[in-house]
Structure 1
Amino acid sequence: MKVLLTGAAGFIGYHAAKLLLAQGHQVIGVDNLNDYYDVALKRARLAQLNKLPNFEFHALELSDENCLAAFQSYGITHILHLAAQAGVRYSLDNPRSYVKANVAGHLEVLEFARHCDTLEHLAYASSSSVYGERAGGPFAETDDVRSPASLYAATKLGGEMMAESYARLYNIPQTGLRFFTVYGPWGRPDMAYYIFTQKIFAGEPITLFAPDEMRRDFTFVDDIVSVFPKILTTPPKKGHAIYNLGNSQPNTLMQLVDAVESACGRTAEKIMKPKQKGDVSSTFADISAAQRDFGFAPRTVLSEGVPAFVAWYRTHFNV
């Protein structure tokens, strides 16, 4: 495969690139290297990828009109579109950045795909956030998702609808991937497990928002990316499909805290606060479709994945 990978300097993008390159595929990575979180971490990921054969990187703003036009001559066979403005809480103060990245940026990828004669399949990142606030679970791809709890969720849902329309109009095979709270080494500094680790090693208290209410389907990054090659080489039979990719074993927020404290070997001082706007109480993936079609089988539990992250953190930051 010759893969155009957007968000190559991002957390999941970095791990996806490593796996695809290890399997002998060519990866053309693009990223705008924005400052939503520390750009040094993104550059450090890129430094690792640039050591590997068959990797080529281009810094560009994905929302710019025709920004991908130069790649029409590359013979791209597959697109893995992971670039996005992530984070629920950030969307409360910076809504335009979400429309720019997740709507306008997504449109440019679709327009590139529309005119790419060599393209076989486009897979793109969606989010468990599209399910909104709901009780019980697991959440299935056939569930109603018309009540997003945040602008972030609304833009990811909009991306799914845009993909559906382009699949129908222009016969572009597409697969949307709803990720459920992906974590692991080289992770995003805005996520709870990273913040907890950072503050614990700094001797600072951690803030917990509605800890008795919150639970997440924490999914280790290696389990997620392991299925990408199979997904990319299996275009949907009906033009557009959506799959949940999660661990399907939700953990409470306090279980996450316990796992981080155990891995760090320290106990944190805790500050309790109420639930924040835009947050949903629970996520829980029904992964039966991904199991059936791709053999998706996540194996990493929180007590294994969190220590792997903390070990990386200790090494990367010399803690």
Structure 2
Amino acid sequence: MRRVLITGTAGFIGYHLAELLLAEGWLVHGVDAFTDYYDVTLKHARQARLQRSNAFSATLARLEDLDALSRAAEDFRPEVIVHLAAQAGVRYSLENPRSYVDTNVTGTFNVIEVARQLGVKHVVFASTSSVYGGNSKMPFEETDKADQPLTIYAATKKAGEALAHSYAHLWGVPMTGLRFFTVYGPWGRPDMALFKFTRAILDGEPIDIYNGGEMYRDFTYIDDLVRAIALLIDAVPVNGEPVGAHDSLSGVAPFRVVNIGNNDKVKLLDFIDALEQALGIPAHRNYMEMQKGDVAATWADSRLLKSLTGFSPATDYRTGVRRFVEWYRGHYQR
């Protein structure tokens, strides 16, 4: 049985990836700190579902604790590490920037240092579409410059990419960074728009819509996202072997970054319309100005993902929203 260590298995994406890999016959070891950035009962509920499998084990530890992380990895001996744990949230980074540096920079350094020590075959780690920052050219391509971050969150994620590249160059550890685009779906994070909007609409409260609704996002359904990650585990970057001119493969290291998006941009107001239809309830809309650090649009060019795996996310946002609402009503008895 193949062995993978996943950081952040009590989190939204980590939980779904662990569930998928367990179903595919992997041995999975999770590392999570159950931080209280949002309701930990949701994290415990996710973890409890994973613990029903005898192929799942877990360590309670912060990424900043190198000794605890090292012990967990040495005991489990993974062939692959998928690093998904992070201090998330663009807006919260304006309030508490230090937590992002601690978790997303120091924590990422610790993960890739452990990978180096163990000689793992591949490190797959989460970055974000936020690294594209002030870019105005769309869709975003992995070969575009990403040196204008607009938030501390984006800056720490870009720092993680730089650390990983240096390790790949110096020690030959293959590294693949994943730039996620607005992930949503069942078991999602309560601080994300879909979760917040659903709760507010059901409670008869207004929803805040920034930039007057003139916002576009490349909404990526969670099942598509984790399927892409699972396939990329075996798309190990090899120095000097790009798959085409659009490959972000480094010229000096077994390192690349890959967009995971739905290859489309959807207007936020259309997304809200789909949510109203799924709930059968109209929203009370509170239109607001653009928030500091936010961007008007994101849109992924996912050709590289297709070239590497043969897979492209394609779940329509109306279908994804309906599935989320079904889960939300069931989980919260609404």
List per-residue Cα deviations over 1:107-163 (Å, max 9, x = no partner): 11011011003x111100000000013334110001011100101000000000000
Paired residue secondary structure (1:233):
coil
Q: SS at the partner of 1:178? A: strand
Q: Are 1:133 and 1:282, in contact at CA under 8 Å, matched by a contact in 2?
A: no
Which amino acid is 2:42 matched to?
A: L
Instruction: Quote how far apart the aligned CAs of 1:305 are.
Output: 0.2
Counterpart code for 1:2? R
Correspondence 1:1-319 to 2 at 5 A: 1-70=2-71, 71-117=73-119, 119-238=120-239, 239-319=254-334
Whether the aligned pair in 1 keeps the contact of 2:135 and 2:146 (CA below 8 Å) is: no
Distance 2:278 2:302 in 1: 28
The DSSP-based 3-state class of the residue aligned with 1:300 is: coil
**In the alignment, residue 228 of structure 2 is paired with which amino acid?**
V
Query: Which whole-Å CA distance do the structure 1 matches of 2:66 and 2:21 have between them?
Result: 28
8 Å CA contact 1:217, 1:248 repeated in 2: yes
Task: State the 1:192 CA deviation.
Answer: 0.6
Q: How many Å separate the matches in 2 of 1:21 and 1:53? A: 9
Residues 66 and 108 in structure 1, CA contact (< 8 A), matched pair in contact too: no
Amino acid in the other structure paired with 2:13:
I
Query: Is 1:67–1:108's contact at 8 Å kept on the other side of the alignment?
Result: no
State the partner residue of 2:248: none
CA shift for structure 1 position 58:
1.1
Q: Report the CA distance between 1:269 and its aligned residue.
A: 0.8
Structure 2 residue runs without a partner (length 5+): 240-253
* 2:188 partner amino acid: G
Deviation at 1:296, TM superposition (A): 2.2
Amino acid at match of 1:262: Q
Which amino acid letter does the alignment assign opposite residue 200 of structure 2? K
Contact 1:21/1:53, CA 8 A, preserved across alignment:
no
| Matched residue SS, 1:115 | helix
Q: Give the superposed CA RMSD.
A: 1.0
Which runs of at least 4 in structure 1 moved beyond 4 Å after TM superposition? none
**In the aligned structure 1, how far is the partner of 2:287 from the partner of 2:324?**
24
Q: How many residue pairs end up in the alignment?
A: 318
Runs (5+) with no aligned partner, structure 1: none
Q: In structure 1, what residue type is equivalent to 2:191? A: D
Question: Is residue 181–residue 219 contact of structure 2 (8 Å, CA) maintained in 1?
Answer: yes
Give CA deviations for 1:211-257 in whole Å, capped at 9, x if unaligned: 34211000000001112222112210121111000001111110111
| Secondary structure, counterpart of 2:214 in structure 1 | coil
Name the CA distance, whole Å, in 2 between partners of 1:56 and 1:153.
31
Per the normalisation by structure 2, the TM-score is 0.93
Q: Hey, what's the Cα distance between the residues in 1 that align with 2:76 and 2:85?
A: 20
Distance 2:174 2:136 in 1: 33
- SS across alignment from 1:67: helix
Find the aligned partners of 2:214 and 2:150 in 1 and give their Cα distance. Answer: 16
Task: Report SS of the residue matched to 2:202.
Answer: helix
Q: Structure 1: how far apart are the matches of 2:280 and 2:137? A: 33
Percent of pairs with identical residues: 48
For residue 113 of structure 2, what is the amino acid of its counterpart? E
- DSSP-derived class of the 2:205 partner: coil
Residue identity matched to 1:94: N
Which segment drifts farther, 282-291 or 231-240?
A: 231-240
Whole-angstrom CA distance in 1 between matches of 2:211 and 2:106: 34
List per-residue Cα deviations over 1:17-51 (Å, max 9, x = no partner).
Answer: 00000000000001110010000000000011111
Write the letter of the residue equivalent to 1:277. Answer: K
SS in 1 for 2:118: coil
- Cα displacement string for residues 256-293 of structure 1 (whole angstroms, at most 9, x for unaligned residues): 11111111100011111100011111100000011011
Residue 318 to residue 35, structure 1, CA distance change in 2 (3 Å)? same
Residues in 1 aligned to 2:77 and 2:68: alpha-carbon distance in whole angstroms? 16
CA deviation string 1:157-191 (max 9, x = no partner): 00000000000111100100000000000000101
Distance in 2 between residues matched to 1:211 and 1:190, nearest whole Å: 20
CA contact (8 A) 2:182 2:218 kept: yes
